[in-house]
Amino acid sequence: MTSRIKKAVAKSKLFVSEELENYDKGRAMQNNELFQYLSNTEKQIHSVLKSSHVRAYLKPEDILESVFSYIDRPAKRLRPSVLLMAAGALGGPDREELALPAAAGVELFHTWTLVHDDLIDNDTLRRGGPTVHEAMCTAAQNKQSITTNLATEYGRDVAILTGDMQHGWAITSFVDCALESGINSTLILKLIKHLQSYVLGNLIFGEVLDVRYGMQDLTELKDIDENKIVEMLWLKTGVLYKFAGMAGALIGKDTCNFEDDEVQAITQFASKCGTAFQLQDDILGILGDEASLGKPIGSDIREGKKTVIVYESLKNANESQRKMILSILGNRLATTDQVQAVSELFYELNGIGRTRDLAAKYISDAIPYLNEISDSRYKRLLLLWANYMLDRKF
C-alpha cells in the first residue's frame, strides 16, 4: 500500500470515527446537500417512470397499480442516486443527465426484488403501506368478492407477475439509454449482460442463502459464521450497489473498459458501501421505529433472520440468555414484549456494537478508493453518502 493510500485510510478512519462519535447539528447541515440531491433524484426517477411508454402496457388495472405501488411511495432512491453520482464524478453534469434512464432501470430492478422478497418473507408493510401481495389480496376481497383463501392466492400471483413486469421494464429502461440518450450501444449491451448474469445470479444466490439460513437451527453455530453472513449480505445488497457504481462510472467516462482504474475505484467503493448499508439496515430493523422505516419492527426476529447481530449475541450469551433468544427467534407469533426483550439482549451482548463496528470498517475501507477520483461536487456527495450511512435514521 502506498504512503498516499495509507494517509487516505488514516484520514478516512478519522472521518468515520467523527461521524460515529461527534454527529451534531453541523454535520446534519452538511448532509442537507446529500438529502437535496436524493430528493431531486427521486423526483427525476418518478417523472421518467410515469412518462414512460411502458406504462401503456401495464394491464389490467391491478398490474398498473401494483407496478407503481412502491414507486409512488416516498423513498430515498439510493441506488439510482449512486449511479448518477458516479456518472457525474467521471463525466460531469451532461453525462449524469444522459444516465437517467439507466438510473431508472436500477430502481426498477431493485423494486422487483423488493416485491418478491416481501412475498418470500410474508411481510405486510413496505414504505409505510401494504406490500403488493397484501394489497392485492385485500382488493380481491373488496372489489371482486373473492373468498379469503382465493384472495390470498390472487395476491401472491399478482405480486409475482408484478415483479416480473418490473424486471422486464428495468431492461427496457437501459435500452432507452442507447435509443434515447445516445449512450454507446455496445456499453449498454455489456451492462445488460452483466446485470442479467453476474448481478442477478449473485442476488438470487444471496436470497436463497438468506432463506436457508433462516430455516437453520442455531442451537449450534458450527454451520454459520460471521464471514458467511456478511457474504450473504453482500450478495443480496452489495452486488446491486456495486453495479450501480460501475454502470454510472462507465456511462460517465463513456468507456466499455470495466477494468479502467477510475471505474474500478468507484465500483469497489460502491460495493463496500453496499455491505455497510445492509449491516446498518439490520441495526435499524432492531433499534428503529416503524413510522420512519415503513416496515414492521421485529420482523427479522420473527422470521429468524441470521444476521451478524444474532451470531455475535449468541456467541456471547450465557445458557439462559441463549435459551431465551432461541425460543423467540423465528417465532412468527412472538409478542412485542418478547421481541423487545431479545432486542435488548442483542444490545447487551454486543450484537449491535459488533455490527456497527463492521459497518464502520467497510466504510473506512471504501473511502480511500475515491482517492483515484478528481475532486468535484459528485465526489463530495459520494463521501457524504458513505459517511451518513453509519448514522442514518431514514
Please tell me the predicted confidence (pLDDT) of residue 22.
Answer: 47
For 51, how many CA atoms within 13 A lie in the half-sphere containing its CB?
8
Please tell me the predicted confidence (pLDDT) of residue 21.
Answer: 47
Residue 193 has pLDDT above 70, yes or no: yes
Please tell me the predicted confidence (pLDDT) of residue 11.
Answer: 44
In this prediction, residues 332-336 reach a mean pLDDT of 86
Share above pLDDT 70 across residues of the chain, in percent, rounded to a whole number: 88
In this prediction, residues 188-202 reach a mean pLDDT of 98
In this prediction, residues 97-103 reach a mean pLDDT of 97
CA angle 389, 241, 89 (to 5 degrees): 85
Distances (CA, A) of 270 to 18, 79, 256: 21, 10, 19
Residue 5 has pLDDT above 50, yes or no: no
Residue 186 has pLDDT above 50, yes or no: yes
Residue 18 has pLDDT above 50, yes or no: no
Please tell me the predicted confidence (pLDDT) of residue 230.
Answer: 95
Dihedral, CA of residue 300, residue 273, residue 267 and residue 190, to nearest 10: 20
* pLDDT tens readout for residues 139-159: 999 888 888 899 999 999 999
Share above pLDDT 90 across residues of the chain, in percent, rounded to a whole number: 71
**Global confidence as pTM:** 0.89
Please tell me the predicted confidence (pLDDT) of residue 319.
Answer: 92
In this prediction, residues 361-377 reach a mean pLDDT of 96
> Count of domains in the chain?
1
In this prediction, residues 170-191 reach a mean pLDDT of 96
Distances (CA, A) of 324 to 233, 305, 328, 385: 26, 16, 7, 37
Please tell me the predicted confidence (pLDDT) of residue 86.
Answer: 98
Please tell me the predicted confidence (pLDDT) of residue 296.
Answer: 66
Residue 331 has pLDDT above 90, yes or no: no
- Show the domain range for 356: 3-391
* pLDDT tens readout for residues 267-304: 999 999 999 999 998 998 887 766 666 666 777 888 88
Please tell me the predicted confidence (pLDDT) of residue 216.
Answer: 76
* pLDDT tens readout for residues 264-273: 999 999 999 9
Please tell me the predicted confidence (pLDDT) of residue 23.
Answer: 41
| Other residues' Cβ atoms within 10 Å of the Cβ of residue 357 | 14
* pLDDT tens readout for residues 56-98: 999 999 999 999 999 999 988 999 999 999 999 999 999 999 9
- Nearest-angstrom CA–CA distance, 20 and 358: 13
Residue 15 has pLDDT above 80, yes or no: no
* pLDDT tens readout for residues 32-47: 899 999 999 999 999 9
Higher per-residue confidence, 151 vs 28: 151
Please tell me the predicted confidence (pLDDT) of residue 292.
Answer: 60
Q: Can you give the CATH number for the domain in which 77 is found? A: 1.10.600.10
